[in-house]
Amino acid sequence: MEKTLRLIFRNEEGRQTTISVKDPVEPLNSADVDFAMDLILSSDIFMTSGGSLIEKIRAEVVGRQVDIILEF
């Protein structure tokens, strides 16, 4: 199953911004993800059209499974 870790932040204009990480290393640990999000905020290296990232909203893993029925 294909998985994506989505780190969701709020920027200076109050809009949500998502950073997606395809195929994250498993197992995911909530403390490690929280630390990574804090590091992203403190480093201030991501600039959005709404300004810097200023607040964590949530982290989520989205899974997608594709079952091929017929292939040519």
34 located within any domain: yes
Tell the residue number behind the tokens 């905020």, with chain if given: 41
71 located within any domain: no
- Amino acid letter for position 39: L
**Range of the structural domain that residue 51 is part of:** 2-64
Query: What pLDDT score does 63 carry?
Result: 93
47 located within any domain: yes
Counted domains in the chain = 1
70 located within any domain: no
69 located within any domain: no
22 located within any domain: yes
Query: What pLDDT score does 48 carry?
Result: 95
37 located within any domain: yes
Mean pLDDT of successive 10-residue stretches along the chain, which has 72 residues:
94 97 93 97 95 97 91 92
Contact 9, 57 (CB under 8 A): yes
- Cα–Cα distance for residue pair 8/14, rounded to 1 Å: 12
- Cα–Cα distance for residue pair 39/21, rounded to 1 Å: 15
- The model's pTM is 0.87
Query: What pLDDT score does 67 carry?
Result: 87
40 located within any domain: yes
